[in-house]
Amino acid sequence: MRAALEKEARWKTALSWLVVVVLTPITVWAGTAFGSGSYYVTSILVIIYAMVPFFVSFESRRPQARELVIIAVMCALAVVARVAFIWVPHFKPIAAIVMIAGVALGSRPGFLVGAISLLVSDFVFGQGPWTPWQMLAYGIAGFVAGFLAERGVIPRSDLSNRAKTLLSLAGAAFVVVVVGPILDTCSLFTMISAITPESALAIYASGLPVNAVQATATAITLFILANPLLGKLERVHVKYGLAR
């Protein structure tokens, strides 16, 4: 029985990585190649991809409505975190909220929260060819945070000051190294007609200040809100016996 459960867990993990690492990036790139207007279809496909591994995890058990409610609440909180700072250029705490969702809920819900919250918040900031790229970037942020938490690398509650500091620095570094460059790649494909090493370097270099501001917002938010939010979500999981 235990071997069967471990085999099922490995299969679900492999499916999740297939969605995040293969299908979603290919679809986002293809949507950019098809040009204007295709981003609506691409965004819907990304959401479908995000939902597949999540609902596969329900295969052997009866899903509880409260599990979906928690995911919806985290999506709403992530959207509010971005919209509330609309008046501050580039200073958006949304990545931190998505990472906290991944740590608390797991890798698959983390990717789903990241993808959905960017799609929804772009109804305020504006939909465009960048939307699927944002969904991919922040979905990966939630997925990686959840993946590390599932393996005990990131504590799911009661973080010490040292753990909070490390999480904040790691979150900021992830924004600079992964999230930001993915968004810069979108700019490279949509703004440059002929991609050369020089034009690529110019795009990525110009994106560094923006990524640094976003990383600062991520670090501050993680340090301040990680313990309160993770503590509340952990209590909900324990109280209602929710699976992860």
Going by C-alpha positions, the residue among 165, 164, 167, 210 that lies closest to residue 187 is 210
For the chain, domains (ranges, CATH) are 2-240 (1.10.1760.20)
Q: How many residues does the chain have?
A: 244
Going by C-alpha positions, the residue among 116, 179, 183, 112 that lies closest to residue 146 is 112
pLDDT in single tens digits along all 244 residues of the chain: 555 555 656 666 677 777 777 888 888 888 777 765 677 788 888 888 877 776 666 555 555 677 788 999 999 999 999 999 999 989 999 999 999 999 999 888 899 999 999 999 999 999 888 899 999 999 999 999 999 999 999 999 889 999 999 999 999 999 999 999 999 998 888 887 777 888 889 999 999 999 999 999 999 999 999 999 999 999 888 877 666 6
Give the angle subtended at the CA of 167 by the CAs of 223 and 213, to the nearest 5°: 65
- pLDDT, residue 198, reads 87
Structure tokens at 176: 């600079």
Q: What is the pTM of this model?
A: 0.86
- 206: exposed, middle or buried (Cβ count in 10 Å: 0-12, 13-18, 19+): exposed
